[in-house]
Structure 1
Amino acid sequence: MSDKIHPTAVVDPKAELAADVEVGPFAVIGPQARIGAGTKVWHHATVWGNTSIGESCEVYPYASIGMQTQDLKYKGGSPGVRIGDRNIFREYVSINAATNDGECTEIGDDNYLLAYCHVGHCCKIGNHLIASNGATFAGHVVVEDYVGVGGGGTAIHQFCHIGQRSFIGGCSKVEQDIPPFMLGDGNPAKIRFFNKVGLERSGFTKEQMAAVKFIFKAFYREGLNRQQAVELVKGSEHADTEEVKAYVAFVEATERGITGGSK
């Protein structure tokens, strides 16, 4: 056994661990687990089921990665969890396996889930998510890149889609899709503004900010219905920007509907 695996850890001999994986006291690693180079599983954490974790991740104490879905439709088989590189899962984070055989809950790279976050079955989490304490993602939630989610029990309804570079305030109840670049907050969540601070911190140019501000005004301040707002932005001077293209594609693909604006 590697000297990086504590003697009190329970690591199934069938598990596949890179040579430098560190496993702390009383951690449990199941027989189907695959863990990449440089990853650390802290004491009392659990990695179970058909789960793969990439390189340079950290699984903090009492986190539970890959346990069976809580979906009552589960009928057996070996659904799993696929996690990329450089992710951090703080204390008591739980990530459930998918529901159906052959399916996976997926998490990309460079995500940071703070204590008590939950990712439910069949979620698709992209890259660079920061989810604060107690944020919960119900089954089948899709989260695009560079999203921020406040804590305090923020809850995202199943099948919701969260757009790139959006932000959701703490203690929010998200029932419909949050479009790209927007800031949602409240119970139920409403679009309060565009994600101005987040976009500025990300290095958005003056031109990009102008495009996003125009999108926000068209959809949330002009009294237009969704199709009218789409036509307005498509016919504007910002129509060829990546921001407008991404936003329009998102709203045209929504299934749950777009979160409305505050009055």
Structure 2
Amino acid sequence: MGNVLPDNDSPTPRPRLDPAEFIKANMRLVPVAALPEIRFYTAHPGSGLRRLVDPEDDGDADDDASEPRPPYWAYAWAGGAVLARYILDHPMTVAGRRVLDLGAGSGIVGIAAAKAGAREVIAAEIDRNGVAALGLNAAANGVKIAIVDGDITGSWPPLVDLVLAGDVFYGQEVAERVMPFFDRCLATGIEVLVGDPGRAYLPRSRLRLLAEYQVPDFGDAKDAAPRPSGVFRFEAEPGG
């Protein structure tokens, strides 16, 4: 009869870290660049973020810059920043309205909408860690946001008046999911605003520029000059 005892040489699975506890303990709550009205938990070189996003990592990495694909929620991206800036500067855009922050990431767009007087803010995010960060960031800014954990782009939009989408055209697959969703929004009378610095899959023929701001983008060098990023209204297909 063979040995039925556990193999002591087998690696013991590492307990999964609690995202909220990790974020509070290891990330910094700081003002968003170009948005001093909003604070959020962001990664820094000593945060050890790899331990949260990759439980199998040994934890020896001391610089989060080595992460091959940084989690979007841990950084401020230009599209979200420019959209949040526009909302804070033009609060009547959201005042008294039900708002969806799509692909919310850190939640700065939804937080801006709540601060500017939105009647209700829903934030949709697919990353488990991002969902935790959203809750912490909303609490840190003293606003209430309803969080939807998962991808909602395959269905009809929730009962809102306005959809806000920052940085959703960075990849072809994502763009191909959100475009039909935006069309369904328009079909039900929901306005769609997009914030973007001009990423590769931005559907410029469907967008009307409302404003431009100079905001930094994640990945830019610290001494790099901010580039113009736009706030756009998503419009129906011409002749549609």
Same fold (TM over 0.5): no
TM-score, reference length from structure 1? 0.23
More helix by share: 2
**Greater relative contact order (CA < 8 Å, ≥ 6 in sequence):** 2
TM-score, reference length from structure 2? 0.25
